[in-house]
């Protein structure tokens, strides 16, 4: 199979979808890999490393996109829609619930689109998990940074000092991102409250997180009460494939401390704060109702070496299986791919995405 790895063009995106080691693995299986020049540069992988791994390196985005299977990191931007065609298999993070324009174009051009974030194995989201972990850890670092009065934050050091109370950190959602955010915040010495709906999940979190992390059943009232004293709020809510629920409304902001910081990890899925809007690494924050919002849509791109290695490690088995067997046989051999299929032959095959976009849903042909 011909596999294309294009250069990511999203603002601030520094990751690449496959390392040279991953390319070597694909080439060893008899596949042709076309890498666009410069695709791996920001992750520390030169064109020469890809050549030595057996890839064909090209300066043309068209050649990378002309392959049977295109493997990316982030969702295609409008200027990449011209590459869409019937028969193309696209494997990447899509987040279609927050991007109706992209969903419409994929359906119109009959692209077979498989979303990393909805691939599911035994109740887990294996291709989302490592990026969630990175974003969760990073969310606290960014929140602490923008708490500085230099940026308009409240000026409260997360861990405090002897004789001064630590900052209050509220984490909404106890999945992978929320758990790692809570762990890092506690490690810095903050007082942490994690709100979660699942009772079994809360029991697991209680047993695995540091003692200064308290869990609380997530209700609108509990969220509002915690926001009133919070210095940093991490939005880490996930409903696979669907738009994120708006847990923090604009009226709630008005009762928060001025200079508090919100970090919305769920912004790819529309955000879990009503006041959220996408930002970039170049211009990451804005202020609403006196509260700083950090809503960068590709947070892990700040750490491309770690992120690229982690993403390749989990995505490569799926890429290799699709290349070896073809899409339909790969779906049988790796059932998790079935949940990843979002569009196929002009049909929307993920129910959560269809409901979020109010579009017709058709049963997954491989389910």
In the chain, the domains with their CATH numbers are: 2-125+304-357 (3.40.50.720), 129-302 (3.40.50.720)
d(CA 166, CA 213): 13
Q: What average pLDDT does the chain have?
A: 96
**Residue 157 clears pLDDT 90, i.e. is over it:** yes
Q: pLDDT tens across 166-195, in order?
A: 999 999 999 999 999 999 999 999 999 999
Q: pLDDT tens across 134-143, in order?
A: 999 999 999 9
Residue 232's pLDDT is what?
98
Choosing from 95, 180, 264, 293, which is the catalytic residue?
A: 95
Band of pLDDT at residue 366, cut at 50, 70 and 90: confident
Q: pLDDT tens across 111-126, in order?
A: 999 999 999 998 899 9
Pairing of strands 32-36, 56-58: parallel
**Residue 63 clears pLDDT 90, i.e. is over it:** yes
Contacts of 284 (CB under 8 A, 6+ apart): 142, 146, 294, 295, 296
Choosing from 47, 231, 264, 268, which is the catalytic residue?
A: 268
Band of pLDDT at residue 42, cut at 50, 70 and 90: very high
Band of pLDDT at residue 316, cut at 50, 70 and 90: very high
Q: Under a CB-based contact definition with an 8 Å cutoff, are residues 8 and 73 in contact?
A: yes
**Residue 364 clears pLDDT 90, i.e. is over it:** no
How many C-alpha atoms does 206 have within 13 Å on its Cβ side? Answer: 12
Burial class (CB in 10 A: 0-12, 13-18, 19+), 189: middle
Annotated catalytic residue 95: yes
Annotated catalytic residue 268: yes
């Amino acid at each position: 199979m011909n596999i294309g790895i294009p250069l990511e063009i999203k603002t601030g995106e520094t990751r690449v979808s496959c390392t040279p080691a991953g390319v070597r693995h694909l080439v060893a299986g008899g596949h042709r890999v076309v890498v666009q020049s410069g695709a791996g540069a920001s992750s520390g992988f030169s064109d020469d490393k890809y050549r030595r791994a057996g890839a064909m390196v090209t300066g043309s985005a068209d050649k990378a996109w002309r392959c049977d299977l295109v493997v990316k990191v982030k969702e295609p931007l409008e200027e990449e829609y011209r590459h869409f065609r019937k028969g193309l298999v696209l494997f990447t993070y899509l987040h279609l619930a927050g991007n109706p324009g992209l969903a419409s174009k994929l359906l119109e051009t009959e692209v077979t689109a498989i979303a990393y974030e909805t691939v599911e194995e035994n109740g887990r989201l294996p291709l989302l998990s490592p990026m969630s972990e990175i974003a969760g850890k990073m969310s606290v670092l960014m929140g602490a940074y923008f708490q500085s009065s230099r940026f308009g934050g409240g000026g409260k050091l997360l861990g405090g000092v002897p004789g001064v109370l630590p900052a209050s950190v509220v984490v909404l959602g106890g999945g992978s991102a929320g758990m790692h955010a809570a762990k890092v915040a506690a490690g810095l010495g903050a007082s942490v409250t994690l709100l979660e709906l699942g009772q079994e999940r809360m029991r697991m979190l209680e047993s695995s997180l540091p003692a200064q992390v308290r869990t609380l059943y997530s209700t609108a009232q509990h969220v509002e009460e915690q926001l009133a004293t919070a210095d940093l709020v991490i939005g880490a809510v996930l409903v696979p494939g669907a738009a994120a629920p708006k847990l923090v409304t604009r009226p709630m902001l008005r009762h928060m401390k001025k200079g508090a910081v919100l970090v919305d990890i769920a912004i790819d899925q529309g955000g879990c704060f009503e006041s959220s809007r996408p930002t970039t690494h170049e211009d990451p924050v804005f202020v609403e109702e006196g509260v700083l919002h950090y809503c960068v849509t590709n947070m892990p791109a700040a750490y491309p070496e770690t992120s690229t290695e982690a993403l390749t490690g989990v995505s490569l088995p799926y890429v290799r299986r699709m290349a070896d067997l073809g899409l339909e046989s790969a779906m049988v051999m790796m059932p998790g791919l079935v949940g990843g299929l979002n569009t196929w032959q002009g049909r929307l095959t993920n129910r959560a995405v269809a409901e979020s976009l109010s579009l017709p849903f058709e049963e997954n042909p491989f389910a």
